[in-house]
Amino acid sequence: MGGATANFERFKRHFAKTLKELSSSNGSINRVCADLKINRQQFAKYLSGATLPSVYILQRVIDYFDVDPKIFFIRKGVRQTKRDQVVAQTEQAADINSGFYLAYCASPAHADAVEIGLWRFERSANTVLCYGQLPSGPGRGGLVGYTGVITAMGPVNLLKAKTANGQSAVIIAMSRLEFSPDDFVAAKIGEQNSGGAMFGAPCLFRHIGVEIDVSETLRQHCGVIAIKDLSAESQTILEILSARTSRLGHGFMVALSQPEG
């Protein structure tokens, strides 16, 4: 019984840690509780590991964050099936470290502004989970949560994420900056809303740390910001992005590798 009890306690700690990280990536625990229609005090018990949710509540949590249920469970030491072994041999982890990234993207709707969002990447053995807060309108605030995965596609990493309600999705191709290996130049090759409209834009992902004050970062840095109001550091980031970008009619071409010359 001692071993079983220890494993159960370890599972509860793992579950609570995973739920806390997912909730933090969504910006506000109060917002998560409101969206899920779960009492804040009861949700706090889940976050502390004091108790576990029912299967019904767990299903709602999985659907809300749009994640693989396996992330809530400890899988070390589990005997692999033949299918698991084949998948492990064919899947390749994205070349990305865990941590938080500010994403600077050209705004298709505002030529004199830049969209700045916050992403958290969580690396595991064969995949990288991603959780983003992206601007939904002009100015600071008005952010929308996205959840997805990043997979390796040769030298390029491909980020695919969508909102909890599935009404909007983004696809972003990413490649490391040669002179700044923790950062990525990227092309948002698709942003689709429920009406079917598609948008594209060049982006630059800047690594800002493994542990940050999420609320403060969202408040101070994220939103659709006028270029003239950006800090000197952000202006430099835009210059790097501009050097990789060429306009083609109403769209963009982004060089994911260092331009020659």
pLDDT tens for residues 186-199? 888 755 444 444 45
pLDDT per residue over 71-124, tens digit each? 887 765 444 444 444 334 434 556 688 899 999 987 766 678 888 999 999 887
Q: Are residues 39 and 105 in the same domain?
A: no
Per the structure, the complete domain to which residue 250 belongs is given by 99-254
Q: Are residues 237 and 115 in the same domain?
A: yes
Q: Are residues 62 and 119 in the same domain?
A: no
pLDDT per residue over 160-195, tens digit each? 898 888 778 888 888 887 777 788 888 887 554 444
Of the given ranges (14-18, 28-32, 220-224), which has the lowest mean pLDDT? 28-32
Tell me, yes or no, whether 261 lies in a domain.
no
Tell me, yes or no, whether 177 lies in a domain.
yes
Cβ neighbours of residue 23 under 8 Å, at least 6 residues apart?
29, 32, 47
Tell me, yes or no, whether 93 lies in a domain.
no
Q: Percentage of the chain with pLDDT > 70?
A: 72
Of the given ranges (54-58, 73-77, 90-94, 152-156), which has the lowest mean pLDDT? 90-94
Quote the pLDDT of residue 82. Answer: 43
Q: Are residues 245 and 152 in the same domain?
A: yes
Q: Are residues 199 and 249 in the same domain?
A: yes
Residue 141 above 70 pLDDT?
no
Quote the pLDDT of residue 108. Answer: 66
What does DSSP assign to residue 96? -
Tell me, yes or no, whether 66 lies in a domain.
yes
Q: Grade residue 229 by pLDDT with cuts at 50, 70 and 90.
A: confident
Question: Region 141-161: what's the mean pLDDT?
Answer: 84
d(CA 195, CA 60): 26
Q: Report the CATH number that the domain containing residue 14 is assigned in CATH.
A: 1.10.260.40
Quote the pLDDT of residue 177. Answer: 77
Q: Are residues 149 and 250 in the same domain?
A: yes
- Where b means 16+ CB within 10 Å and e means fewer, 105-115 reads bbbeeeeebbb
Quote the pLDDT of residue 132. Answer: 92
Q: Percentage of the chain with pLDDT > 90?
A: 12
Tell me, yes or no, whether 81 lies in a domain.
no
Tally of domains in the chain: 2
Q: Are residues 51 and 124 in the same domain?
A: no
CB atoms within 10 A of CB 127: 18
Domain boundary among 44, 76, 108: 76
